[in-house]
A = this chain, B = another copy of it.
Amino acid sequence: MAKNVNFRSIGPTTYLSPVPVVMLGCADPAKGIRPNLITVAWAGVVCSKPPMISVSIRKERYSHGIISETGEFTLNLTGEALCRATDFCGVKSGREVDKFAAMALTPIPAAGLTVAPAVAEAPAYLSCKVKRIIELGSHDLFLAEVVDVNIAEEYFTETGAINEEAMQLVGYVHGKYRALSDVLGFFGYSIASDEALERRGLKR
């Protein structure tokens, strides 16, 4: 493999990629706050047991206050059909726009949660409960436990497997939304037997 002997610094920046790009759903009906969406790319898995994710949100964002107050939100995965709506929810504020209405999306009750809505048009969503908020600087880090995950029926095969390719998931790479394509391998494929590789349609 070619060695990249020469590197050029671009300075300290958040150059990790790809990162997920998901629509976070929240609401606070007790305060008259309608279902709202905010797009987050500063998100990640942080623990397997218990299953936990993190999202980072600027203090000044409308959703920051809602989630801090209610302690719950959904993360709705983005397929290609939702890419434009996802971008819109990242550049507009819920203070001025009803993003569900503007993007013709449908808020539905989320399994395991009380007030935060899921997006009916999403291929899958995670129901999350906030456990801890940590101030970091421009963003506050919300550490949350995943209490349930729901996947649209159409992505299950007859045998009950999940057809993830059909979700046409989107990744975020330095300001660009990129489609995911070919499967290059599966976890452990570098040490798998020829038989295991062939069964999964891969070559050594």
Contact = CB atoms under 8 A, between A and B. Distances in A.
B183 A180 contact: no
A169 B18 contact: yes
Interface string A108-137: 000110000010111111100000001011
Contacts of A185: 83-84, 87, 176-177
Interface stretch (A29-37, A64-72, A138-146): A138-146
Contacts of A188: 87, 91
Interface in A25-66: 41-54, 56
Contacts of A51: 12-14
B141 A5 contact: no
Q: How many copies of this chain does the complex contain?
A: 2
Interface range, A side:
35 or more
B143 A53 contact: no
Interface of A: 1-20, 22, 41-54, 56, 75, 77, 80-85, 87-88, 90-92, 104-106, 111-112, 118, 120-126, 134, 136-139, 141, 143, 145-154, 156, 162, 164, 169-171, 173-191
Given A4-B120, A47-B136, A178-B180, 13 more contacts: A4-B123, A7-B152, A8-B150, A13-B146, A16-B53, A43-B44, A44-B46, A54-B141, A83-B184, A136-B143, A177-B189, A178-B184, A181-B181
Of all A-B residue pairs in the complex, the 4 with the closest CB atoms, nearest first, are A44-B44, A4-B152, A7-B150, A181-B181
